[in-house]
Amino acid sequence: MEDASQVPSGSVVSVWRYPVKSMMGEELNAAEVTERGLLGDRAYALLDNSDGKAATAKNPRKWPRLFDFRAAFVEPPGAASEVPAVRITLPDGTTVTSDQENLDRILSGALNRGVTLAAARRGEVNAEEYWPDMDGLDHRDTVTDFTLPEGTFFDCAVVHLLTTASLDPCASYTRRAVSRCGGFVRTSSCGWAPTRRVLRRTPGSAARSRSATRLP
């Protein structure tokens, strides 16, 4: 009798890591998974010089261009080493690195707002979320603060496993309430969500999670 636990449940289509919070990221061939998600994921964030809050696309009125930036590590991060420098591609195609002395000035100019690139550290950081003027939400047409998990730049979950079986109908059902933006989708119910296809379902099987330290 065939062992059900050995039946393939799906195949990984792509793995993405986002070194800087709310910027576009880098596609990987392999990734080390830790208790804080993919090693190096959201290791950096931009902090608003005026209030110290993390820049996030959840407040698009304040940060309308974050998705126009792309970040990738200069070299792969290691679990036993310091977080490596990150290379950021600006909307105009210019590239800068986190070890440049004038980095914050360049980023501030590109965003028209004073910012500082910071690595995740101990302590809590706040961020903001805009709630559209829509029925059924906790707030309407307002911005609220929320606290990121201590020592991280994650909103809450450290890993998102998305199936094409879920993404395809979601895009269809919410077509009128969706605006696409550089690899993410804005829905009326769940805010910003990645549209990158991560897991392709094997016909006749149910997708399920697997314990692994590396992904192919």
Q: For residue 200, give the nearest of 158, 161, 159, 157 by alpha carbon.
A: 161
Kindly report, residue by residue over 180-196, the tens digit of the pLDDT.
433 344 444 344 444 33
The confidence score (pLDDT) of residue 155 equals 87
Distance CA 216, CA 11 (A): 10
Using pLDDT thresholds of 50, 70 and 90, give the confidence band for residue 4. low
The confidence score (pLDDT) of residue 215 equals 29
* pLDDT of 178 over the 80 cut: no
Report the amino acid identity of residue 119: A
CA angle 205, 210, 216 (to 5 degrees): 95
The confidence score (pLDDT) of residue 157 equals 83
Using pLDDT thresholds of 50, 70 and 90, give the confidence band for residue 205. very low
CA angle 97, 98, 99 (to 5 degrees): 90
For 5-9, 27-31, 100-104, 175-179, which range has the lowest pLDDT when averaged over its residues?
175-179
Kindly report, residue by residue over 115-158, the tens digit of the pLDDT.
999 999 888 899 999 998 888 989 999 999 999 988 899 988 88
Kindly report, residue by residue over 33-46, the tens digit of the pLDDT.
888 889 999 999 99
Q: Which residue has the higher pLDDT, 10 or 43?
A: 43
Distance CA 16, CA 212 (A): 16
b/e map of 14-31 (b: 16 or more CB within 10 Å)?
Answer: ebbbbbbbbbbbbebeeb
Percentage of the chain with pLDDT > 90? 53
Report the amino acid identity of residue 149: P
Taking the model in full, what pTM does it have?
Answer: 0.76
Q: Are 22 and 204 in contact (CB under 8 A)?
A: no
The confidence score (pLDDT) of residue 161 equals 84
Distance CA 15, CA 199 (A): 9
